[in-house]
Structure 1
Amino acid sequence: MESMIDIICFFEDLFLEYGMNPVLAQYLNLLINIVALTFIVFAANYVVKHFVIEAISAFTNRTKTTIDDFLIKSNFPRYIGRFVPIYIVYELFPLIFIDFPKILEFFFYTMKIYIIILVVWICRSVLRSTRNYLKTRSEFNDKPLESFSQIIMIFLWIIGLMFMFSVITGKSVIGFAISLGAASAVILLIFKDTILGLVASIQVSVNDIVRIGDWITFQKFGADGTVTEINLATVRVQNWDNTYTTIPTYSLISDSFQNWRGMQESPGRRIKRSVFIKQNSVKFLGPEDIAKLKKIQLIAPYLENRQSEIDKYNETNNIDKSVLINGRNQTNLGIFRKYADSYLQDHSAIHKEMYLIVRHLAPTPNGIPLEILCFSRDKRWENFEYISADIFDHLIAAIPYFDLQLFEAPSGDDIRNFLSKRSN
Structure 2
Amino acid sequence: METKVLTRYFYRLFKEEFELQEQLAIYLNLLINVVVTLLLAYVIYKVLRVFSENVVHRLASKSKTQFDDFLVKNKTFLHLSNLLTVNFISFLIPFILVDFPSFEVYAEKLVGLLTVVFVITLLRSILLTFKDFLKTIESLKDKPVESYIQVFMIVVWLIGIVIIFSIITDRSLTKLFTGLGALSAVLLLVFKDTILGFVASIQVSVNDTVRLGDWITMEKYGADGDVFEINLASVKVRNFDNTITTIPTYYLISDSFKNWRGMSQSGGRRIKRAVLIKASSIQFLNPDEISEFKNIQLISDYVNKRSSEINSHNERLNADKSVLINGRNLTNFGLFRKYVDEYLKQNPAVNKDMMVMSRQLAPTPNGIPLEIYAFSQDKIWKNYEHIMADIFDHILASIPYFKLEVFEYPTGKDLHIKLKK
Q: The TM-score by the shorter chain falls in which range?
A: 0.7 to 0.9
Q: Structure 2 matches for 1:190-229, cutoff 5 A?
A: 190=190, 194-229=194-229
Counterpart-to-counterpart distance in 2, 1:277 and 1:410 = 15
Q: Do the aligned partners of residues 292 and 165 (structure 1) sit closer, same or farther apart at CA in structure 2, a change above 3 Å counting? A: same
Q: Is the 8 A contact 1:277 1:370 kept in 2?
A: yes
Matched residues in 2 for 1:58 and 1:392: separation?
60
For the pair 1:245 / 2:248, whether they are aligned, the reply is: no
| Structure 2 CA distance for partners of 1:363 and 1:181, relative to 1, 3 Å | farther
Match of 2:384 in 1: 384
Partner SS state of residue 379, structure 1: coil
Structure 2 residue identity aligned to 1:355: M
The residue number in structure 1 matching 2:121 is 121
Q: Deviations over 1:275-297 (max 9, x none)?
A: 11111222233333333322222
AA aligned opposite 1:212: L
Give the Å deviation of 1:375: 0.5
- Structure 1 letter corresponding to 2:88: I
Point out where structure 1 has 5 or more consecutive residues left out of the alignment: none
Share of identical aligned residues, percent? 48
- In the other structure, the counterpart of 2:8 is 9
The answer to whether the 8 A contact 2:310-2:329 is kept is yes
Aligned 1:313-392 pairs, distance under 5 A? 313-392=313-392
Q: Which moved more, 1:139-148 or 1:410-419?
A: 139-148
Distance 2:74 2:372 in 1: 56
8 Å contact kept, 1:222–1:245:
no
Change (3 A) 1:372 1:173: farther
Match of 1:30 in 2: 30
**TM-aligned CA distance change 1:10 to 1:220, over 3 Å:** same
- Higher mean C-alpha displacement, 100-109 vs 351-360: 100-109
Measured after TM superposition, the shift of residue 350 of structure 1 is: 0.8
TM-score normalised by L of structure 2: 0.86
* Cα-to-partner distance string for 1:24-64 (whole Å, 9 max, x where unaligned): 44333333332332232223223222346532223323334
CA contact (8 A) 1:228 1:238 kept: yes
1:95-152 CA-partner distances (Å, limit 9, x unpaired):
3324544333333333333322222211111222233344556655544444443333
Distance 1:83 1:396 in 2: 74
Q: TM-score, normalised by structure 1?
A: 0.86
Q: CA deviation at 1:174?
A: 5.5
Q: 1:354 Cα shift?
A: 0.5
Task: Note the aligned Cα RMSD (angstroms).
Answer: 3.0
**Stretch moving more, 339-348 or 300-309:** 300-309
In structure 1, distance between residues paired with 2:194 and 2:339: 59
* CA distance in 2: counterparts of 1:284 and 1:331, whole angstroms: 4
Task: Pick closer, same or farther for the CA change 1:52–1:321 going to 2, 3 Å.
Answer: closer
CA distance, structure 2, for counterparts of residue 172 and residue 372 of structure 1: 74
Question: Pairwise mapping of residues 7-406 of structure 1 onto structure 2 (< 5 A)?
Answer: 7-17=6-16, 20-51=20-51, 53-135=53-135, 140-171=140-171, 173=173, 175-184=175-184, 186-187=186-187, 190=190, 194-241=194-241, 243-250=242-249, 251-406=251-406
3-state secondary structure, aligned to 1:299 = helix
The CA distance in 2 between the partners of 1:96 and 1:145, in whole Å, is 46
Aligned-pair CA distance for 1:191 = 5.0
Tell me if the contact between 1:200 and 1:249 (Cα under 8 Å) persists in the aligned partners: no
CA distance in 1, matches of 2:160, 2:321: 93
Change (3 A) 1:41 1:393: closer
2:4 and 2:98 in contact (8 A); partners too:
no
SS in 2 for 1:82: helix
Greater mean alpha carbon deviation, residues 99-108 or residues 10-19? 10-19
Query: Contact between 2:277 and 2:368, CA under 8 Å: does it hold in 1?
Result: yes
Structure 2 Cα separation of the partners of residues 70 and 234 of structure 1: 25
Amino acid at match of 1:383: N
Q: Measure the CA separation in 1 of the matches of 2:88 and 2:417.
A: 100
CA–CA distance in 2 between the matches of 1:92 and 1:400?
A: 96
Confirm or deny: 8 A CA contact 2:86 2:114 kept in the other structure. Answer: no
Verify the 8 A CA contact 1:217 1:259 in the aligned structure 2: yes
Question: Separation in 1 of the partners of 2:283 and 2:178?
Answer: 82
